Amino acid sequence: MVALTARLLPRSLPSGATVRASWTLRQHAPLITRRGVVAAASYPGNRSYQTATASAASPEPASPSPIEPGVAPSPTSEPIALKPSRRERIKEAKPFSDFLTDNFHRQHDYLRISVTERCNLRCLYCMPEEGVPLSPAREQLTTPEIVMLSSLFVSQGVTKIRLTGGEPTVRRDIVPLMQQIGALRPHGLREICLTTNGLSLHRKLDAMVEAGLTGINLSLDTLDPWQFQLMTRRAGFSAVQKSIDRIFEMNHNGAGIKFKINCVVMRGLNDREILPFVELTREKDVEVRFIEYMPFDGNKWNEGKMFSYQEMLGRIRAEHPDFHRIEGHKNDTSKTFQVPGFVGKVGFITSMTHNFCGTCNRLRITSDGNLKVCLFGNAEVSLRDIIRRVNDGEPIDEETFMSMKQAALAKLEHRPDDLAGHMIAPNNSEELLEVIGMAVKRKKEKHADLGDLEHMKNRPMILIDSKSHASPYRATAYRTTSSSRLEARSSLSSTFSSSTRLPFIHAAMSDFSTSHQHPRLSFSTTSRPGVPSGKHKDTDASKAATSSPPIPDQPNKLTHVSAQGEAHMVSIADKAPTHRVATAKCTVVFSNPSTIRLIRENQMKKGDVLGVARIAGIMAAKKAADIIPLCHPIAITKVSVQLETCTHNNLLDEEDGNGNDSAHGSVEVTATVECDGKTGVEMEALMAASASALTVYDMCKAVDKGMVVQGLRVVLKEGGRSGRWVEGGKG
């Protein structure tokens, strides 16, 4: 095999001649030149990169025989499949998915998937010292679910998938999972990467490379074994060193793993090790990346601990004056530098001082199946709940997955063996894409600045990449309903149908177990540890609220009007974030005595009036800033909409022509909105109440044309400098 990887076929082969080689050579990515010269280059994802470096004494199978130098290939050997020409690739190219393109034209072709929330270290900047509460196993994505979601994203143009955690190597089936994701390479996936602490990597690395691993980011913040134990609160430096040595050894033998070491620099803790890390790049082909210390829940953020990019750069240039920047990829998160003459490179991830949001192409799926479009964002959308609907809300295990495969194959009339060439899509791919598209379109142009980031509520680092379980960290879970799907279709101007990018089993799976479909989905805007989404009780704001000082006298002045009399948005930059609550009410009064009965018996032709109105109110609360021109966009943490039917109602003091009271029942709407922010949520509460009432009106207008919507007002407000206020003026 040494001969196979080191020698070239004779240059005398005629142009255009069919080049043939053994099975072993075909497995090592043949490189074919215009003159017919072939060189075998081993790369990750082959049967074994080690075959490229096997001893020449190790015999190959008698048939087929290896190619000998100077000898024409055997005519009985199998031909090597040539790569399509550039012209052919351009001709067959598909437009990038609109679902993964945001409003700033950023195309998201890089997906990070957290495969576990567990970790065998307790790094200072990543996990709170006391650890994090682990989610029940059923709330975590299963391997089939991860594979199906990976298939969906690859079908839309994702070319790189990174498996993260927690610590991904602690997942028992990490290698089989990687193998199944690796099967997506014929459909456009180019890179399978891993982010790891390296503690147990050396035990699984060979199998991972065989499965298709192409890149490793290894987190290491110190080269001192004692300091390692201090920063990780665990022993194990020698195991990490063993993993690093094994990576270098495999690359020396041709594995071709892209290797990076990530180092979070903290002032007074490990900033003195910047130069020793740079020294690693002198003779080793590795990129050491220094990361600015970032604020996350539980990592005891202190701006004084942050060692900035400019300070790091200055320290390195004091030792290496010719340290210079080199060109990198447009989507790189790091600024790449090199010391002349050094083999490796040095990078800087400057999330705090110089954001790279303008070229961001990354999406994240947490271990509990939530999609995060920004590392520092707190809005999340659940993909897990949608994908499990086919299984009655239960996790999709291997047995269920195989049943889905068989059902799909039966519909497509394929043999089971044919399945290997297909990606397996979720049965509700179009719905998932709509939800993904909505989330991507909501992605902001850039994340908050340093001054705001340190005050924002976010998951601990261990639960983000999930470096994730259902958490209270201001995560907004957008559950899809028929209403939200209509919203998605209207908001997304897709340039092509989703089915045009799904070259795999799609519609065939939609008929699988239709009895598993949920008749109704819960709609919730918060997710809490240990509480299934949509099943926790709404908080009664009036009971939970505590007394606050009375509102001080304010001058009679319109805050949204400038001194020149022009409308403007009020600055909230100097306000402190606090927990804020607002409750609004209104009433829909009916003139037809049968209306209230039809609502209660759910006999309206348009369906469940109260259920649809509740969803409409929740959606409207999230759209307040899009409709009210001077309303600040805020991160809502909870919306509760209650609709109560009343048979007897004397709100209208009018009589019809027969002297009867014209009010024949009503629906009272109460909407409560909460947030942790710098401004109140009165407008969001009013939007929720009014939208719910208008939805009731719309669904009942065919029966009752004399309805009246009245009494829209705020009845409770608390939080901020004005304290607590309730209707009637009593705090």
Distance of CA 36 to the CA centre of its chain: 45
> For residue 578, which of 717, 682, 680 has the smallest C-alpha distance?
680
DSSP letters along 343-384, please? Answer: SSEEEEE-TTTS--GGG--EEEE-TTSEEES-TT--B-EESH
Q: How far apart are CA 143 and CA 276, in angstroms?
A: 40
Kindly list the distances between the CA atom of residue 473 and the CA atoms of 31, 167, 584, 693, in Å, as whole numbers in the listed order: 50, 21, 25, 31
* Radius of gyration (C-alpha) of the chain in whole angstroms: 30
| Helical packing angle, 682-700 and 609-621, nearest 10° | 150
- Cis status, amide bond into 166, omega within 30 of 0: yes
Three-class DSSP category at 277: helix
d(C-alpha 296, C-alpha 206), whole Å: 34
* Dist CA 500 CA 498 (whole Å): 5
Which of 511, 608, 698, 704 is an active site residue? 698
Q: Are the CB atoms for 632 and 559 separated by under 8 Å?
A: no
Q: How many CB atoms lie within 10 A of CB 628?
A: 13
The Cα 421–Cα 425 span in angstroms is 13
Token readout for 635 is 């991160």
Count how many residues are written for the chain: 731
Give the C-alpha separation, 159 to 94, whole Å: 13
540 labelled catalytic = no
CA 329 to chain centre: 22
CA–CA distance, 25 with 321 (Å, rounded to integer) = 46
Q: Parallel, antiparallel, or unpaired for β 287-292 and 258-265?
A: parallel
User: 158: helix, coil or strand?
Assistant: coil
- The neighbouring-strand residues paired with 175 are none
**Contacts by 684-687, CB closer than 8 A, 24 or more apart:** 684/582, 684/621, 684/622, 684/624, 684/634, 684/636, 684/639, 685/582, 685/583, 685/584, 685/621, 685/714, 686/584, 686/712, 686/714, 687/620, 687/621, 687/623, 687/624, 687/627, 687/628
**Separation between Cα atoms, residue 86 and residue 90, nearest integer Å:** 6
Indicate the DSSP class of residue 103. T
Active site residues: 698
